[in-house]
C-alpha cells in the first residue's frame, strides 16, 4: 500500500466512526436537557398555582411576671 491509500483508509475510518456520533449529537441537541425541562415545569407550575392568601397574625408578649404587653409597648420596646 502506498501512503495515499493509507491516508484514505484513515480518512474512511474517521468518517465511519465520527459521522454517526456527530449525527447523534446533532439530533440530541434539538431536544431540551433535563435541567431545562425542570425549569420549564417549575415555571409553568408557578404560573398555574395561585398565590396563598396573606394571613394576619398577632404577637402576644407575656413578661416573666405574667403581665401582657400591649401592641404599642411591644413596638416601643427595644433591647440592645
Tell me what percent of the residues of the chain surpass a pLDDT of 70.
94
**Residue 55 grid coordinates:** 394571613
What's the confidence (pLDDT) of residue 56?
84
**Half-sphere exposure at residue 35, Cβ-oriented, CA atoms within 13 angstroms:** 0
State mean pLDDT over 36-63. 84
State mean pLDDT over 31-42. 88
State mean pLDDT over 25-52. 85
Using alpha carbons, select from 57, 61, 58 the residue that is nearest to residue 77.
61
* Interval 23-34: pLDDT, tens: 999 888 888 888
Structural contact between residues 44 and 36, judged by C-beta atoms closer than 8 angstroms: no
Q: Name the 3-class secondary structure at 46.
A: helix
Amino acid at each position: 500500500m502506498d501512503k495515499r491509500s493509507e491516508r484514505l483508509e484513515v480518512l474512511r475510518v474517521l468518517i465511519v466512526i465520527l459521522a454517526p456520533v456527530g449525527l447523534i449529537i446533532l439530533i440530541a441537541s434539538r431536544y431540551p436537557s433535563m435541567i431545562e425541562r425542570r425549569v420549564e415545569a417549575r415555571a409553568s407550575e408557578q404560573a398555574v398555582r395561585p398565590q396563598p392568601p396573606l394571613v394576619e397574625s398577632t404577637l402576644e408578649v407575656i413578661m416573666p411576671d405574667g403581665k401582657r404587653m400591649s401592641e404599642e409597648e411591644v413596638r416601643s420596646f427595644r433591647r440592645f
